[in-house]
Structure 1
Amino acid sequence: MDITVYNYLAGNARLTMFVRYNPEWYRYLSRDPDRIDELEKAAKQFYGQTFPQRVEKLNNQVQMVGMLLQFAGAMKD
């Protein structure tokens, strides 16, 4: 692996863990160090940090709060 890619991964613990969980990225980065942008996109998707994933998570939380409020309202009656 290229020393600049290695140092970049060493400075970013989240990406380092992603590469450890997905070892095929060792090969990709060894053959083409310019794929670091693809690595970051794949890591965001893996960790659920893309915009659609965040919106879905927020939507699920709002639904949960709504159900809890309905349940609390039903308990009062």
Structure 2
Amino acid sequence: MHPKTYAMIQAKPEYKEFIRFHPEWYRTLTKHPEQIDAFVDASKVYHGQTMPQRIERFQRNMDMALMILKLLK
């Protein structure tokens, strides 16, 4: 694996976890290190760090809070 790619993966625990659960990315990055952006995007989706996933999580939390407030009234 390219040293810069390896250093980037080692720097973030999220990337290390993702590559452990999806070893096909290790093989892909070894052969094609230019696909690091696709790897980062896939990792964000896996960990729920994309903007739509964050908005959905926020909405669920707001719905839960509103339901609790209705129960308390």
Structure 1 residue 22 displacement after superposition: 0.8
Amino acid at match of 1:43: S
Greater Cα radius of gyration, structure 1 or 2: 1
Aligned to 1:12: 12
Write the letter of the residue equivalent to 1:67. Answer: M
Structure 2 unpaired stretches of 5+: none
* Mapping for residues 16-31 of structure 1, pairs under 5 Å: 16-31=16-31
Per mean C-alpha deviation after superposition, the further-off stretch among 2-11 and 52-61 is 2-11
| RMSD, aligned α-carbons | 0.9
CA shift for structure 1 position 13: 1.7
| Distance (whole Å) between structure 1 residues aligned to residue 66 and residue 13 of structure 2 | 36
Indicate the percent of aligned positions where both proteins have the same amino acid. 34
Per the normalisation by structure 1, the TM-score is 0.89
State the shift of 1:10 in Å. Answer: 1.3
Deviations 1:14-71, CA, capped at 9 Å, x for gaps: 1111101111101110110011111110011000010000000000000000100111
When normalised by structure 2's length, the TM-score is 0.93
Alpha-carbon distance in structure 1 between the residues aligned to 2:44 and 2:25? 14
